[in-house]
């Protein structure tokens, strides 16, 4: 089959990452249409991929109203704009790559999964962590029986203090009403990953969590509304001056700076911090998502898993410990320590493929996902997709149940 033709719906950060797969592997994918309201981002994709002018639109509805013009649609709009374009593209017969979350509400998520299954299209949700070399190696060790039965698992997501401030206090995922609870917007990846690694069925779930720190009461005396006009800014680890102008001074221009402004100069960034959302004091934002949360899961046959997501740390890879009846695994996103009970010794497995991982984002998962999606379409073999509608629905339902537990204060029985 010729390369898979694709339209990009939402050409922001994620749309651009997935589209860049077509530049790296033109024999696998090509971009033939784009819908994006912001001119700079729309033009960037259109020019890079030589998209015919007739297939360049400012809104996804314009492309969806046309007869199907590609094999697949990459839906990379913000969280609240996934369900409508996904249903429209599924109905038109596009194969669909959909950014997470699949839906912000349980009923919508079920609707999208059902529509994808019924249409028989190739459908993948961007749970990129499943597709990394690290995860695949870890999963292969477990599936080989090397640690016996997996009885229990602990997983930590260290969000990183400045990443929390950027995305979940000042940024697009700060407010549950405007986007989603943190467990859905950020940690649906982690519950999905835990579900993949544990295998089997989660039966009961409970959760606690709160917004402990980024609140008005924590604001120091003398603090300004914006970091550029704040008397105590030099003492604040969350200072926007430090996070953004500091990075610019070090010559960095990629994420997170490129979400603040497309004018990546001292003047451009300063202007954005003076007027835009990323210059605000972290104690004076309209944020309400949690900065710490734990989830407990009871799996089939009495097996257990725990998850913590916390803002107050250095931004590093997730850390995981997996306890089996014949051995134990410690993973840090790059290497895996395997302690074998019979031999009473530890082997360390380095899963880094340094060049590729660094270049392709999320430990190689971004391009791993694109690789799987395009080859599923080309070969007709849907098993290549590890995050299809059923798997993703199951792990999203765990997120919705955990959120219900956190809000209502009781253990929730899983209903699939
Ligand atoms: N899989 C991952 O690891 C991962 C990582 C980060 C973000 N995400 C998810 O990816 C999605 C996009 O995030 P992002 O950081 O790229 O956001 P973004 O804001 O950079 O991109 C979204 C784009 O959609 C465009 N858009 C808005 N209305 C539109 C319309 N009517 N038609 C077409 N386009 C429209 C916006 O202008 C914007 O450019 C979010 O749902 C986010 O949760 C996933």
User: Where are the extended beta strands (E) located within 244-303?
Assistant: 292-299
Half-sphere exposure of 325 (CA within 13 A, CB side): 5
Tell which atom from ligand 1 comes closest to the C-alpha of 17.
16
- Angle at alpha carbon of residue 398, lines to 158 and 108, rounded to 5°: 110
Mean pLDDT of 296-300: 98
The pLDDT of residue 69: 96
The closest of 98, 72, 122 to 10, measured between CA atoms, is 98
**Ligand 1 in reach of 79 Cβ (< 6 A):** yes
Q: What is the C-alpha separation between 141 and 180, in angstroms, rounded?
A: 34
Average pLDDT, the chain: 96
**Ligand 1 in reach of 76 Cβ (< 6 A):** yes
pLDDT class of 2 with cuts at 50, 70, 90: confident
The alpha carbon of 174 and the centre of ligand 1 are apart by a number of angstroms equal to 15
DSSP character for 255? T
DSSP character for 150? E
Mean pLDDT of 15-34: 96
The pLDDT of residue 356: 53
Tell which atom from ligand 1 comes closest to the C-alpha of 126.
1
The pLDDT of residue 364: 84
**Ligand 1 in reach of 270 Cβ (< 6 A):** no
Q: Which uninterrupted H or E stretch holds 323? A: strand 319-324
* Chain centre to alpha carbon of residue 161: 18
**Ligand 1 in reach of 287 Cβ (< 6 A):** no
pLDDT class of 358 with cuts at 50, 70, 90: very low
* Overall pTM surpassing 0.85 (yes/no): yes
- Most ligand 1 atoms within 8 A of CB, residue of 13, 112, 373 to mutate: 13
Helices H / strands E in the chain, number of each: 16, 15
Tens digit of each residue's pLDDT (9 = 90 or more) over 127-176: 999 999 999 999 999 999 999 999 999 999 999 999 999 999 999 999 99
CA distances from 190 to 110, 194, 227 (A): 20, 6, 32
96-105 burial, b if ≥16 CB within 10 A, otherwise e? bbbbbbbbbe
Tens digit of each residue's pLDDT (9 = 90 or more) over 79-123: 999 999 999 999 999 999 999 999 999 999 999 999 999 999 999
Q: Ramachandran region of residue 361, left (φ > 0), alpha (ψ -120 to 50) or beta?
A: left
Please name the residues in contact with 401: beta carbons below 8 A apart, sequence gap of 6 or more. Answer: 205, 412, 414, 415
Residue 288 has pLDDT above 60, yes or no: yes
Backbone angles phi, psi at 409, to 5 degrees: 75, 35
3-class SS shares of the chain: helix, strand, coil, % to 5: 45, 20, 35
* Spatial contact of 130 and 387, defined as CB atoms under 8 Å apart: yes
The pLDDT of residue 360: 56
In the block, which residue shows the tokens 């024999």? 27
Tens digit of each residue's pLDDT (9 = 90 or more) over 250-266: 999 999 999 999 899 99
* Spatial contact of 67 and 41, defined as CB atoms under 8 Å apart: no
Distance from first CA to last CA of the chain, Å, rounded? Answer: 37
The pLDDT of residue 93: 97
Residue 363 has pLDDT above 90, yes or no: no
The alpha carbon of 80 and the centre of ligand 1 are apart by a number of angstroms equal to 10
The pLDDT of residue 352: 80
**Ligand 1 in reach of 362 Cβ (< 6 A):** yes
**Percent over 90 (pLDDT), the chain:** 95
pLDDT class of 405 with cuts at 50, 70, 90: very high
Beta bridge partners of 62: none
Mean pLDDT of 61-66: 96
Backbone angles phi, psi at 215, to 5 degrees: -135, 160
Tens digit of each residue's pLDDT (9 = 90 or more) over 173-226: 999 998 899 999 999 999 999 999 999 999 999 999 999 999 999 999 999 999
Residue 355 has pLDDT above 50, yes or no: no
The alpha carbon of 226 and the centre of ligand 1 are apart by a number of angstroms equal to 26
Mean pLDDT of 62-78: 96
**Ligand 1 in reach of 238 Cβ (< 6 A):** no
Helix (H, G, I), strand (E, B) or coil at 272: helix
**Ligand 1 in reach of 14 Cβ (< 6 A):** yes
């Amino acid at each position: 089959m010729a390369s898979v033709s694709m339209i990009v719906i939402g050409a922001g950060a994620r749309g651009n990452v997935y589209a860049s797969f077509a530049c790296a592997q033109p024999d696998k994918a090509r971009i033939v249409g784009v819908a994006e309201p912001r001119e700079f981002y729309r033009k960037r994709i259109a020019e890079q991929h030589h998209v015919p002018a007739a297939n360049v639109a400012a809104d996804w509805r314009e492309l969806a109203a046309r007869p199907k013009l590609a094999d697949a649609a990459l839906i990379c709009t913000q969280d609240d704009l996934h369900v409508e374009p996904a249903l429209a593209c599924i109905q038109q017969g596009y194969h669909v790559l959909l950014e997470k979350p699949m839906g912000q509400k349980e009923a919508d998520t079920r609707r999208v999964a059902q529509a994808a299954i019924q249409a028989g299209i190739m459908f993948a949700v961007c749970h990129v962590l499943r597709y990394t070399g690290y995860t695949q190696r870890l999963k292969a060790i477990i599936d080989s029986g090397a640690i016996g039965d997996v009885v229990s698992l602990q997983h930590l997501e260290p969000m990183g203090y400045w990443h929390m401030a950027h995305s979940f206090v000042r940024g697009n995922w700060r407010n549950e009403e405007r986007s989603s609870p943190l467990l859905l917007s950020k940690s649906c990846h982690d519950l999905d990953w835990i579900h993949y690694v544990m295998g089997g069925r989660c039966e009961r779930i409970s959760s606690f969590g709160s917004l402990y720190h980024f609140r008005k009461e924590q604001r120091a005396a003398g603090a300004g509304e914006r970091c550029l006009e704040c008397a105590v800014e030099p003492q604040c680890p969350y200072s926007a001056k430090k996070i953004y102008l500091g990075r610019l001074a070090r010559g960095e221009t990629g994420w997170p700076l490129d979400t603040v402004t497309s004018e990546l100069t001292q003047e451009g960034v300063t202007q954005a911090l003076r007027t835009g959302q990323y210059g605000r004091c972290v104690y004076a934002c309209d944020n309400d998502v949690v900065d710490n949360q734990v989830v407990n899961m009871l799996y089939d046959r009495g097996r257990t898993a725990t998850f913590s997501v916390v803002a107050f740390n250095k931004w590093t890879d997730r850390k995981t410990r997996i306890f089996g009846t014949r051995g134990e695994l410690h993973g840090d996103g790059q290497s895996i320590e395997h302690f074998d009970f019979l031999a009473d010794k530890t082997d360390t497995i380095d899963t880094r493929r340094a060049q590729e991982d660094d270049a392709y984002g999320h430990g190689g998962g971004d391009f791993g996902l694109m690789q799987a999606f395009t080859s599923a379409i080309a070969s007709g073999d849907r098993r290549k997709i590890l995050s299809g509608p059923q798997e993703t629905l199951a792990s999203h339902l765990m997120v919705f149940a955990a959120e219900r537990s956190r809000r209502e204060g009781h253990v929730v029985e899983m209903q699939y």
